[in-house]
Structure 1
Amino acid sequence: MHNPLALMNIQAEVLYVHNQSGRMTTINESTNQPAPRLFWGQTALGRIIRFRCDVPDRIVEDILHIMDQGDSTEQLVNVIRTLENDREIKSLWMGPAFTFHDTTEDYTDVTLVTEDNILCLEPGFPTLLMDVRHRGPCFMVTENNMAVSVCFSARSSDKAAEAGVETLKEYRGKGYALRVTSAWAQAIRRSGRIPLYSTSWDNYSSLSIARRLHLHQYGTDISVY
């Protein structure tokens, strides 16, 4: 297993597109939405800091200076204040970052999405249906030929992929999300890549999946827009 700092560096590269200077440009999706102004990945071995390409150099210098002073709580407060002095903050995302332990358990009710069964996504996940060819592998649990829970590659690179998990509201609490996520992680490992999973601290259902899968938390990441 990679060390936490290496995993956080890989995660940053999976989540965001970077230019030749190492600055973020867009999120790593076909929508090409802007990356956050700041990505901060904290691990027990250190941190990964990435800035969007339009953050002024003076702000970058001020924030890097802040990172060398005080504890993490004080640093975050001062980083937010510094970014606000340049431009209003639109949103802030914070949560744990996980990777998967090796697993060999197979679930017979989980199906890989293929050209033969892709239309099972249409009733409950029409947006995913339109983009699933760019988000493979995608696994689903179906009832009455309709996908009710799915796990797909929300963002990916040649080194790793980040899980995206969705379950229809009326089918939650049945363990379906755990099954599709486990199958997805096994497929990513078979492809020679690292399966990653991250969520926000207030997404309790997603945190429950991580806990039930016994995922390994390697750090915490913060994205400031």
Structure 2
Amino acid sequence: MREHEEIIPTAHKLMEFHVEALFTHDQNRRLRTINEPWPGEASAPRFFLGRTTEGTALCRFRHDVPERLISQLEKLCADEPIVKDFQTKPKHIEAYMNLLQGERYTMGPCFLVPEEAVPTMQVVKITRENMDEVLRGGFEWLISEIDFAQPCIALVRESRAVSICRSVRITTKAHEAGLETLDQFRGRGYAAAVVAGWAMAVREIGKFPLYSTFSENLASQRVARKSALSFYGVNFTVT
């Protein structure tokens, strides 16, 4: 028996956690920048739409989007149907792009890593103390970020990290996963193992572990399927 059962937030609440992890907000809940834990502040997209499996939709706007335009977009967001297939585009995608005069959009599924997810292989936590030992040979670029992207969990083969999952968007409520596996070590189940290990580490500090990707990232979606992640919605942004 578990000592406790996790109270799973609603899909709408998870989408709130998601957007707040992705972007910084001002006091009016307008988007400001991409919420990266390491130094540097790239501008947030002008429009975020989160459609959920419950049939609700959450929308956020960058601080410089005019109020008149926001009012029009909010009405369209309220008319979005329940999302079942994460490849289905928003009902009003053409209107969003036209009203915003958007140049490009992104879209992708959002998942909660369930409490039941456990690593099927041995994984290790990467910190400043052991990073020089295991990040050489493919993950050297992570050394400069290691203090910011915690928890950071790796699967080690041949004395080096070959698959890593770390926190790349962090709030007081949730962490978003960043997953990387060296090309020659893909397809072996390593990614699912580090995602599960990372999720356990995130829960140990009292946060919810979230995993999202892009519609075109089929490899990342396969990891989500293998890991039996809990699908709660689809995000959509216009830059």
Per-residue CA distance 1:130-177 (angstroms, 9 max, x = gap): 111101010111223221110000111111000000001111111111
What is the aligned counterpart of 1:173 among 183, 187, 204?
Answer: 187
Q: What's the secondary structure of 1:39's corresponding residue?
A: strand
**Does the C-alpha gap of structure 1 residues 137 and 207 become closer, same or farther in structure 2, counting only changes over 3 Å?**
same
Matched, 1:6 2:19: no
CA distance in 1 between partners of 2:203 and 2:107 (Å): 26
What is the aligned counterpart of 1:102 among 91, 105, 115?
Answer: 115
What is the aligned counterpart of 2:197 among 183, 204, 210?
Answer: 183
CA distance in 2 between partners of 1:203 and 1:106 (Å): 23
Q: Which residue of 2 aligns with 1:25?
A: 32
Matched, 1:59 2:73: no
CA distance in 2 between partners of 1:70 and 1:199 (Å): 21
Q: Which residue of 1 aligns with 2:159?
A: 145
CA distance in 2 between partners of 1:141 and 1:104 (Å): 16
Give the aligned residue type for 1:38.
Answer: F
Q: Which residue of 2 aligns with 1:123?
A: 137
> Is the contact made by 1:162 and 1:196 (CA closer than 8 Å) also made in structure 2?
yes
Superposition deviation, residue 62 in structure 1: 2.0
CA distance in 2 between partners of 1:189 and 1:155 (Å): 15
- How many residues are aligned here? 221
Superposition deviation, residue 70 in structure 1: 7.3
CA distance in 2 between partners of 1:215 and 1:163 (Å): 12
Q: Which residue of 1 aligns with 2:99?
A: 82
Unaligned runs of 5+ in 1: none
> Is the contact made by 1:103 and 1:186 (CA closer than 8 Å) also made in structure 2?
no
> Is the contact made by 2:25 and 2:33 (CA closer than 8 Å) also made in structure 1?
yes
Unaligned runs of 5+ in 2: 1-7, 82-88
CA distance in 2 between partners of 1:114 and 1:67 (Å): 42
> Is the contact made by 1:122 and 1:129 (CA closer than 8 Å) also made in structure 2?
no
RMSD: 1.7
CA distance in 1 between partners of 2:141 and 2:33 (Å): 20
> Is the contact made by 2:51 and 2:80 (CA closer than 8 Å) also made in structure 1?
no
CA distance in 2 between partners of 1:55 and 1:31 (Å): 23
- Percent of pairs identical after alignment? 34
Give the aligned residue type for 1:219.
Answer: G
CA distance in 2 between partners of 1:196 and 1:69 (Å): 26
Q: What's the secondary structure of 1:195's corresponding residue?
A: strand
Per-residue CA distance 1:78-101 (angstroms, 9 max, x = gap): 1111111xxx52x31101110021
- The TM-score, its normalising length taken from structure 2, stands at 0.87
CA distance in 1 between partners of 2:160 and 2:76 (Å): 51
CA distance in 2 between partners of 1:19 and 1:162 (Å): 20
Per-residue CA distance 1:96-122 (angstroms, 9 max, x = gap): 110021126344531110233101224
Q: Which residue of 2 aligns with 1:159?
A: 173
Give the aligned residue type for 1:36.
Answer: P
